Amino acid sequence: MHDLNWDYELDITAETCPMTYVRTRLALDRLAPGQTLAVRLCGAEPEHNVPRNALAQGFVLLASERGTNGITTILLQKPSASTPE
C-alpha cells in the first residue's frame, strides 16, 4: 500500500471491539464522497469485522495489507454519487 495515497488516517491498534468499528465509522462519516481513509488495526477480530461492517454500510474496500509487525492497514473509500453502493 506504499504506492497508494489516502486523504485521512486512523490508528485503532490500541482499541478493542466494539470501539474499533465505532471510531472507524465516525471517521468514515466525516469523509466527503470519494475521499479515502486508511485504518491501521491489530488483531483477528477487528481485521475481520471492520472491513465487513464498512462494506455493509456501503463503503468501498480499496486495499488491505498485513505488515510483518502484525498490524494491518485497510484503505476504505466513501462512495461518490456516481459509485453504486
Q: What is the CATH number of the domain that holds 40?
A: 3.30.110.40
Residue-range definition of the domain harbouring residue 34? 8-77
Give the tens place of pLDDT for each residue, 45-74. Answer: 999 999 999 999 999 999 999 998 999 999
**Residue 84 located in a structural domain:** no
Task: Identify the pLDDT of residue 14.
Answer: 94
The CA-based angle 39-76-73, given to 5 degrees, is 35
Cα separation, 15 vs 66, whole angstroms: 17
pTM, full prediction: 0.89
**Residue 66 located in a structural domain:** yes
Beta bridge partners of 10: 39
Q: How many domains does the chain have?
A: 1
Retrieve residue 20's grid coordinates: 474499533
Region at 70 (left for phi over 0; alpha for psi -120 to 50; beta for the rest) = left
Cα separation, 13 vs 31, whole angstroms: 21
